[in-house]
Amino acid sequence: MSSLSIRNVRKSYNNGVEVLKGIDIEVEDGQFLILVGGSGSGKSTLLNMIAGLESVTSGEIRFGDRVVNDLAPKDRDIAMVFQSYALYPSMTVRENIAFGLSVKKVPKAEQKETVRRVAETLQITHLLDRKPGQLSGGQRQRVAMGRALARKPSLFLFDEPLSNLDAKLRVEMRAEIKLMHQKMGTTIVYVTHDQIEAMTMGDRIAVMKDGVVQQFGAPQDIYDNPANLFVAGFIGSPSMNFVHCTLNEQDGKVSTVIDNAGVKTEVPLPFSLEKLRAHIGRKVIFGIRPEQITDTRSAHSETGQLLQCRVELTEPTGPDTLITTRLNDAAVTCRVHPREAVHAGASMTLLFDLSKATLFDPDSGERLS
């Protein structure tokens, strides 16, 4: 078991391009860290540096008190699971799981007990005598995890382990990995491009873009208080709505004009005029999540702004219906009760909970309030 510190870590490949630009991440012993971001953001590079498969150009990686920058992968006490399962095709599941142990010359009886325990945890006991070729994708991924688990590492590293699985299995495996973590309590670093995996699995999330951690924190904090436009748009599904507007001052308060189907309404915004004075008369991006715009009957909040809106699209998801309207030319998704949703082309009264809305600077993308 081990805590993990990543301090001002940088990585340049031989072509001179810097792909990690000063990464700082601290996780406690037993935490589940997610590195999430789009393709090419540097997630795998960082994970491989933690594993010792890539050198550290500058900065420091520590497991507990120990700097591991120059430690060989085999001396780091880690286990890694990749998107491709890399099982030995000629060995049975039992032999695959025990492989690392037999290499380490662990006594046979102990190997047997470990395989039993791991197979039970992952519910693959009935598959122990099969070969990888006789398994489904999900079962193979479980065996790959079993092989990692058998080694009782102090750090587990996962690189997009569920990307090859179909949607339903991915959801199941997501829960199983989380349950496994609750049972074992081993520190995990888990790479994914899937923000739902990030939200649902992690204790801590590092949202990455272009080799920079955009925000590091607990999932709900990041969801509720995104640091910038990128994080706000990346975390959450459907995404946060972004509406370009101009800030006004009206009766000592901040307001803005919202246009829906040609009807303009001056909407007061619950932000501090003092903080935003420099932005009055200027363009900003107004951000609001779909669940903060709802029908009047299922609204959680009594307060908010009512707007009569023309509905362009209706998408039932089962528990909710997503409707799309258009504000200042931006398509805006709202989450309403299925019973309250009207048909496309009709108009409905929507309640905007502005208390959780956010404003962003359109140039820098930084959050203004």
Which parts of this chain interact with ligand ADP (CB under 6 A)? Answer: 13, 15, 19, 37, 39-45
Nearer to ligand ADP, 57 or 92 (CB): 57
Question: What's the closest the beta carbon of residue 213 comes to ligand ADP, in angstroms?
Answer: 12
> CB of residue 135 vs ligand ADP: minimum separation in angstroms?
27
Query: Min. distance of Cβ 223 from Mg ion in angstroms?
Result: 23
In the complex, minimum distance from the CB of residue 19 to ligand ADP, in angstroms, rounded to a whole number: 4
Whole-angstrom CA distances from 157 to 77, 197, 320, 364 are: 11, 15, 36, 34
* Residue 50 amino acid letter: I
- Point out which span in 41-49, 94-102, 205-213, 350-358 binds Mg ion (CB under 5 A): 41-49
Nearer to ligand ADP, 44 or 214 (CB): 44
* Residue 214 interface partner, choices ligand ADP, Mg ion, none, CB cut-off 5-8 Å depending on type: none
The binder of 19, among ligand ADP, Mg ion, none, by C-beta within 5 to 8 A per type, is: ligand ADP
Residue 42 contacts which entry, ligand ADP, Mg ion, none (Cβ below 5-8 A, type-dependent): ligand ADP
| Residue 48 engages Mg ion in binding (rule: CB under 5 A) | no
**Which tokens sit at 26?**
């601290």
Taking CB within 5 to 8 Å according to partner kind, which of ligand ADP, Mg ion, none is near residue 88? none
Residue 19 CB, nearest approach to Mg ion (Å): 11
Residue placing its CB nearer to ligand ADP in the complex, 59 or 238: 59
Closer Cβ to Mg ion, 44 or 255, answer by number: 44
Cβ neighbours for 98, distance < 8 A, ≥ 6 positions apart:
111, 114, 115, 150
Sign of CA pseudo-dihedral 319, 243, 226, 9: positive
Partner touching 358 among Mg ion, ligand ADP, none, CB below 5 to 8 Å by kind: none
Of 42-50, 224-232, 324-332, 335-343, the segment contacting Mg ion by CB under 5 A is 42-50
Q: Which does 185 bind (CB under 5 to 8 A by kind): ligand ADP, Mg ion, none?
A: none
Long-range contacts of 58-62 (CB under 8 A, 24+ apart): 58/8, 58/9, 58/10, 59/6, 59/7, 59/8, 59/9, 59/10, 59/22, 59/23, 60/5, 60/6, 60/7, 60/8, 60/9, 61/4, 61/5, 61/6, 61/7, 61/9, 62/3, 62/4, 62/5, 62/7
- For 146-194, give the secondary structure using H, E and C: HHHHHCCCCEEEEECCCCCCCHHHHHHHHHHHHHHHHHHCCEEEEEECC
Q: Which two tokens stand for residue 60?
A: 């420091």
Whose CA is closest to 38, among 268, 209, 281, 256? 209
Chosen residue from 44, 186, 241, 256 binding Mg ion by CB under 5 A: 44
Decide which of ligand ADP, Mg ion, none touches 141; Cβ closer than 5 to 8 Å per partner kind: none
285 close to 323: Cβ distance less than 8 angstroms? no
The C-alpha atoms of residue 1 and residue 313 are separated, in whole angstroms, by 51
Identify the CA nearest to 174 among candidates 141, 204, 148: 141
Nearer to ligand ADP, 163 or 328 (CB): 163
**Residue 39 binds what, of ligand ADP, Mg ion, none (CB under 5 to 8 Å, by partner type)?**
ligand ADP
Shortest separation between residue 209's beta carbon and ligand ADP, angstroms: 9
Q: Which is nearer to ligand ADP, 158 or 242 (CB)?
A: 158
Contact 40, 90 (CB under 8 A): no
Chain positions contacting Mg ion, by CB under 5 A: 44
